[in-house]
Amino acid sequence: NASAVEIRASKDDAKLDSEFEKQEEMTMADVVEGNLDPLPAGSKHKVTFAFATKWATLRPDGALDWKIYLAARAANSDGLKSNTSNVVQATNTPPPITTTVAATTTVATTTTVATTTEATTTAATTTAATTTAATTTAATTKTEATMKATTTHGSTTEAATTTESTTTTTAGGKRMPNSPDLAQLWMWVLIGGIAVIVIATMLFAVFRASAKSQKAVRQRRTVQPASAADSELL
């Protein structure tokens, strides 16, 4: 009868002898070349498998070491199975992997750009000139003195004498910054001077009027005797 082949793999060779049916079975998905189909009695199966990386051991250098144990047995269409074949070891030890690391040095160049900032400051100077004009006007003083003398035969009339005194003083000045007291002082001095002038003028006018009054009285006394003499002659 035609027989099929059953192949199982393990990392432990002893288990292929004692627990063959519990080990992992190789299927057609693992076959690279050949097949597992039944062949006539006396025929041989030649099969090439591709093993997954789970069967390999990772080395410190990053390479994979392969070490797998395989065993097979035949089974015919009647369900009869042969004894397990000899355990076959499949190994693959690649040479050490040499890794060349290229050292890359990165030089960071920092370019500093000098920035020149020109600051232009414009100073605005404002000078406030304060001018204080002090204007003092003295009122006009007018004094009139009129003296009249009347006799029997003639009359003597003293013309009215009018004395007018007009004083106008204008004081102007520039007020200096930070000296308000000085400007006020000068203003008061000017006002005082004007007041003195006005008073002196008034006194002079009164004195002059008084003098003319006395003169008129004397003239009147002189005229009266003459009038009496004329009366006697008449």
Question: Whole-number mean pLDDT of the chain?
Answer: 70
Buried b (16+ CB within 10 A) or exposed e, 4-22: bbbbbbbeeeebbeeebee
- pLDDT, mean of residues 64-87: 87
- pLDDT, mean of residues 83-109: 72
Summarised one tens digit per residue, pLDDT across range 146-159 is: 334 333 333 333 43
Three-class SS of residue 177? coil
Cα–Cα distance for residue pair 65/22, rounded to 1 Å:
24
Higher pLDDT, 3 or 110: 3
Closest to 69 in 3D by CA, of 54, 87, 50, 45: 87
Q: In the chain, how long is the greatest CA-to-CA distance? A: 219
Output the pLDDT for position 227.
Answer: 53
Cα–Cα distance for residue pair 159/136, rounded to 1 Å:
34
Cα–Cα distance for residue pair 22/10, rounded to 1 Å:
10
Output the pLDDT for position 1.
Answer: 57
Output the pLDDT for position 182.
Answer: 84
Lowest mean pLDDT among 6-15, 72-81, 192-201: 72-81
- pLDDT, mean of residues 133-144: 39
Q: 162 forms bridges with which residues in the sheet?
A: 144
- Is residue 95 a contact partner of residue 61, using CB atoms and an 8 Å limit? no
Q: 5 forms bridges with which residues in the sheet?
A: 74
Q: 89 forms bridges with which residues in the sheet?
A: 69
Higher pLDDT, 60 or 232: 60
Closest to 99 in 3D by CA, of 63, 65, 66: 63
- pLDDT, mean of residues 89-97: 83
